Amino acid sequence: MLSALSMRISASPFKKVLKMIRDMMSKLQEQSVREAEAHGWCQAKKAETKIDLEDKQSQRDALATEQESLTAKRDGLTTDVANLEKEIANLSRDRGTATTERSEQNKDNLRVISESQEGQKAVAQAVQVLTEFYSKGAEHSAGDSGEGAVTGVYGGQQSQGKGVIDILKVGLQRSQGKGVIDILKVTRFL
């Protein structure tokens, strides 16, 4: 019995130690499985993060390239705007100069028209005066008794009078028909 008891006592501490070792091993295996799962999760997250990081870096590089392109385009457009503003200023200045010149030309044309109309009136009056003069001269010369008779009223040279009046009338008609009309046409386009 003693030997059985000693065996029992001696076996019992080994059993306890063995049980403790088995329990520890079981816990270590469970802990190892949990750590392996945690490590797998961490590795998966690390891989996802690396892919996300690469995508974000790629997007950042694309945006940086686009920013450089847009900055260059903006600079080009700024230059274009400055050039167009200069051209607008030049065109405005040229338009002002042209408007001033046209205004002066218009004044000159209006003056020429006025002078032409006054000249036409003067020629018309001259034709009227000459027509009256020669028509009265014809009446007086018809009343004379002969070619050499002196009447006291100068009748002019009746035969050449009609020719002079006709020439003045033709000149007046041409100046009325062309001169003023041509000037008016030019003036309208100014």
pLDDT band (50, 70, 90) for residue 65? very high
Average pLDDT over residues 140-169: 56
Q: Which two tokens stand for residue 135?
A: 């028509």
**Domain spans of the chain?**
22-143+154-188
Query: Over 60: is that where the pLDDT of 11 sits?
Result: no
Sign of CA dihedral 163, 165, 168, 174: negative
Contact 180, 113 (CB under 8 A): yes
Q: CA–CA separation, 159 vs 161, rounded Å?
A: 6
pLDDT above 90 as % of the chain: 45
Nearest to 40 by CA among 25, 26, 48, 51: 48
Contact 159, 140 (CB under 8 A): no
Q: What is the pLDDT of residue 184?
A: 47
Q: CA–CA separation, 171 vs 119, rounded Å?
A: 11
What is the three-class DSSP state of 147? Answer: coil
Per-residue pLDDT tens over the stretch 70-86: 999 999 999 999 999 99
Q: What is the pLDDT of residue 128?
A: 84
Contact 129, 168 (CB under 8 A): no
